[in-house]
């Protein structure tokens, strides 16, 4: 096989294992397969992988226009990545078709069929670029979960879910932002969207630990947190890789950080080192925390479907199976229950998810308040009451779809402050 074919065969195998075997892009076997390539090929692979997943609703619709019989998984995935390269990435068409035909031979897929379909698609390429997807084209599990969205919200989701995300960064303090020498669209005195997305981790100010990457939506709830006189001890119960902990530590709060995953704790430690932060780090199951330890603020950035981060994690809608909702919802509920026993009187739980699905968000809060009459939903007070920021809060809950502010992308997100009153 020539080099282009070998690279594209690796792309095919990765897409297949995400689609069929439910793997994530950051799975160690996938990372290993990508890392064996040189820098230029890695960037080619990531480009094709991410765009094939982001645009798979579009490319699947194109496939259905040309084929009216059921096709196998290998054929489907091979066509998805080839169409992405020809129609949306404008790669050299004949190189793509030749490589796909050779890969089809390797996979024992009828290569004449792949060749014929891709040649037909090539002829219609310019017209196909503008293919529109509708809500009905999205995966069934997703449509079932979001029946509650209004027509306008569905349109917002359709407009945004497949686009490349922007990069939002957060500084340790105003001084670090003010001496930053790159173009930035400021979202607060300590944060903004980075305009030059290239090689961001090589920038001197990043290496020096002046800032970290954190989506605006995920930054917003703690940015608006006002410390009370009585607040002494803080806990970030699901902390890794660390965004919320960095926010709390940059305010010099007395913080305990915890995460169940030892792999993710390693990443958190590396991040603390770069940012020159120091805090007590635990590697425990939060559900099993000792209830004698009490806190004034517990942050639960709960494990969830992560559907709000669809632009960064396009595999969520690409996989042929939806998330395990029963397991996730049960875990989220147990975490909230646990936190209710660890909170000092007048303290708060900040419950957050990078999801906007009712089951993981509003319904969890409703269940919690029903069970715990000694808690109430706090006012979500904003530091900056500008219209673009207030639109993120409704009935004292922060809830947003993958959307835009200041013409830049933000994740879908949810946050609620629950205050212990008695």
For ligand SAM, which is the closer residue by CB, 211 or 286? Answer: 286
Residue 244 buriedness (CB in 10 A; 0-12 / 13-18 / 19+):
buried
Q: Cα–Cα distance between 348 and 279 in angstroms, integer?
A: 20
Alpha helices in 254-399 (DSSP H): 262-275, 315-318, 325-342, 362-371, 387-390
Interaction of residue 285 with ligand SAM, rule CB under 6 A: yes
Interaction of residue 308 with ligand SAM, rule CB under 6 A: no
Interaction of residue 303 with ligand SAM, rule CB under 6 A: yes
Tokens read off for 54: 């982001």
For ligand SAM, which is the closer residue by CB, 75 or 301? Answer: 301
Q: Which stretch binds ligand SAM (CB under 6 A): 57-65, 67-75, 233-241, 314-322?
A: 233-241
Angle at 266 between CA 265 and CA 268, to 5 degrees: 60
Interaction of residue 339 with ligand SAM, rule CB under 6 A: no
Out of 239, 255, 298, 310, the only residue in the binding site for ligand SAM (CB under 6 A) is 239
Are residues 365 and 418 in contact, defined by beta-carbon separation less than 8 angstroms?
yes
For ligand SAM, which is the closer residue by CB, 77 or 300? Answer: 300
Interaction of residue 260 with ligand SAM, rule CB under 6 A: yes
Q: From the centroid of its chain, how far is CA 254?
A: 28
Out of 56, 244, 319, 420, the only residue in the binding site for ligand SAM (CB under 6 A) is 244
Q: Cα–Cα distance between 82 and 122 in angstroms, integer?
A: 10
* Shortest CB 109 distance to ligand SAM, Å: 38
Out of 243, 308, 314, 412, the only residue in the binding site for ligand SAM (CB under 6 A) is 243
Interaction of residue 101 with ligand SAM, rule CB under 6 A: no
For ligand SAM, which is the closer residue by CB, 11 or 342? Answer: 342
For ligand SAM, which is the closer residue by CB, 117 or 237? Answer: 237
Q: Name 25's Cβ contacts closer than 8 Å, sequence gap at least 6.
A: 14, 18, 49, 313, 315
Q: DSSP letter at 135?
A: G
Are residues 253 and 234 in contact, defined by beta-carbon separation less than 8 angstroms?
yes
Binding-site size for ligand SAM (CB under 6 A) equals: 18
Residue 377: half-sphere exposure toward Cβ, Cα within 13 Å: 16
Interaction of residue 238 with ligand SAM, rule CB under 6 A: yes
Q: Cα–Cα distance between 97 and 85 in angstroms, integer?
A: 10
Q: Which stretch binds ligand SAM (CB under 6 A): 40-48, 126-134, 205-213, 240-248?
A: 240-248
Interacting residue ranges for ligand SAM, rule: CB under 6 A: 237-244, 258-261, 264, 285-287, 301, 303
């Amino acid at each position: 096989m020539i080099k282009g074919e070998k690279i594209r065969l690796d792309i095919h195998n990765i897409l297949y294992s995400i689609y069929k075997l439910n793997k994530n892009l950051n799975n160690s076997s996938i990372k290993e397969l990508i890392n064996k390539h040189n820098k230029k090929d890695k960037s080619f692979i990531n480009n094709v992988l991410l765009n094939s997943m982001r645009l798979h609703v579009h490319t699947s619709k194109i496939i259905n226009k040309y084929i009216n019989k059921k096709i196998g998984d290998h054929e489907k995935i091979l066509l998805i990545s080839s169409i992405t390269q020809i129609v949306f990435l404008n790669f050299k068409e004949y190189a793509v078709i030749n490589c796909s035909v050779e890969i089809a031979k390797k996979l024992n897929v009828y290569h004449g069929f792949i060749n014929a379909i891709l040649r037909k698609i090539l002829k219609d390429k310019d017209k196909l670029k503008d293919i529109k997807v509708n809500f009905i084209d999205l995966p069934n599990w997703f449509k079932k979960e979001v029946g509650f969205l209004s027509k306008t919200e569905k349109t917002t989701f359709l407009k945004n879910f497949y686009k490349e995300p922007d990069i939002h960064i957060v500084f340790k303090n105003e001084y670090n932002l003010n001496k930053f020498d790159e173009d930035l669209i400021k979202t607060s005195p300590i944060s903004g969207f980075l305009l030059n997305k290239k090689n961001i981790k090589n920038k001197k100010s990043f290496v020096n630990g002046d800032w970290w990457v954190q989506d605006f939506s995920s930054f917003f709830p703690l940015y608006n947190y006002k410390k009370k006189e009585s607040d002494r001890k803080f806990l970030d119960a699901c902390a890794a890789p660390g965004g919320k902990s960095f926010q709390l530590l940059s305010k010099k709060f007395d913080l305990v950080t915890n995460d169940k995953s030892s792999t993710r704790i390693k990443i958190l430690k590396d991040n603390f080192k770069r940012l020159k932060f120091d805090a007590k780090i635990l590697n425990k199951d939060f559900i099993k925390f000792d209830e004698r330890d009490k806190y004034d603020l517990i942050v639960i950035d709960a494990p969830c479907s992560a559907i709000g981060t669809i632009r960064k994690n396009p595999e969520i809608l690409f996989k042929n199976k939806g998330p395990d909702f029963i397991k996730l919802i049960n875990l989220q509920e147990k975490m909230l229950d646990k936190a209710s026993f660890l909170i000092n009187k007048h303290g708060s739980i900040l419950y957050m998810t990078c999801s906007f699905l009712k089951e993981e968000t509003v319904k969890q809060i409703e269940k919690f308040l029903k069970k715990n009459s000694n808690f109430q939903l706090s006012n979500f007070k904003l530091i900056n009451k500008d219209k673009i920021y207030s639109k993120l809060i409704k009935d004292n809950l922060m809830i947003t779809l993958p959307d835009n502010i200041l013409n830049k992308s933000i994740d879908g997100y949810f946050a609620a402050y629950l205050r212990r009153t008695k």
